[in-house]
Amino acid sequence: MSQSDSFGLLLFAPAAVSKKATVIKDLKQQDCEIVYEEQIRLDVERAKKFLELYSKPSEEEANRKEDTIATLTEDSCLALVVKKKQLSTTLKQLFEQNNVSADKEGGGENTEENAFSTKYGFPSDLIYYCTDKENAKECIDFLFPNLDIRSMSESNNPRKYLESTVVPILTSGLTQLCKLEHKPEHPCEWLGQYLIQHDPTLPPKKKIYFVLGGPGSGKGTQCAKLVTEFHLCHLSAGDLLRKEMQSGSPNGQMIDRMIRNGEIVPGHITIELLKNAMEEQSETRGFLIDGFPRKLDQAGAFEKLVGDFEFILFLDCPQEEMERRLLKRGESSGRSDDNLESIRKRFTTFIETTMPVVEYYRSREKLVQVDASRSVEEVYKDIRSYFIESKSV
Which residue ranges are tagged as binding site?
216-221, 242, 263-265, 291-294, 329, 335, 346, 374
* 265 touches ligand C5P by CB under 6 A: yes
Residue number with the shortest CB distance to ligand C5P?
238
* Candidate segments 84-92, 99-107, 300-308, 372-380, binder of ligand ADP by CB under 6 A: 372-380
* 294 touches ligand C5P by CB under 6 A: yes
- In the complex, which residues of this chain contact Mg ion (CB under 5 A)? 219-220
* 372 touches ligand C5P by CB under 6 A: no
The DSSP symbol for 337 reads T
Omega within 30 of 0 (cis) for the link into 293: yes
CB nearer ligand ADP, residue 73 or residue 217: 217
How deeply is 142 buried, as exposed, middle or buried, from its count of CB atoms within 10 A (0-12, 13-18, 19+)? middle
* 219 touches ligand ADP by CB under 6 A: yes
CB nearer ligand C5P, residue 26 or residue 263: 263
Q: What angle do CA 91, 94, 98 make, to 5 degrees?
A: 115
* 215 touches ligand ADP by CB under 6 A: yes
Among residues 119, 115, 73, the alpha carbon closest in space to that of 97 is found at 115
Walk across the sheet containing 286-290 and list its strands. Answer: 233-236, 286-290, 207-213, 311-316, 367-371
Cα 313–chain centre separation: 28
- Which residue from 33, 263, 321, 382 is in contact with ligand C5P, where contact means CB under 6 A? 263
* Candidate segments 100-108, 205-213, 235-243, 311-319, binder of ligand C5P by CB under 6 A: 235-243
Give the DSSP per-residue string, 1-17.
Answer: --TTEEEEEEEE-HHHH
Q: How many residues bind ligand ADP (CB under 6 A)?
A: 14
* Total residue length of the chain: 393
Share in percent of the chain as helix, strand, coil (round to 5): 55, 15, 30
- Which residue from 27, 42, 237, 383 is in contact with ligand C5P, where contact means CB under 6 A? 237
What residue ranges bind ligand C5P (CB under 6 A)? Answer: 215, 236-238, 241, 258-259, 262-265, 270, 291-292, 294, 337, 346
What residue ranges bind ligand ADP (CB under 6 A)? Answer: 213, 215-221, 325, 328-329, 375-376, 379
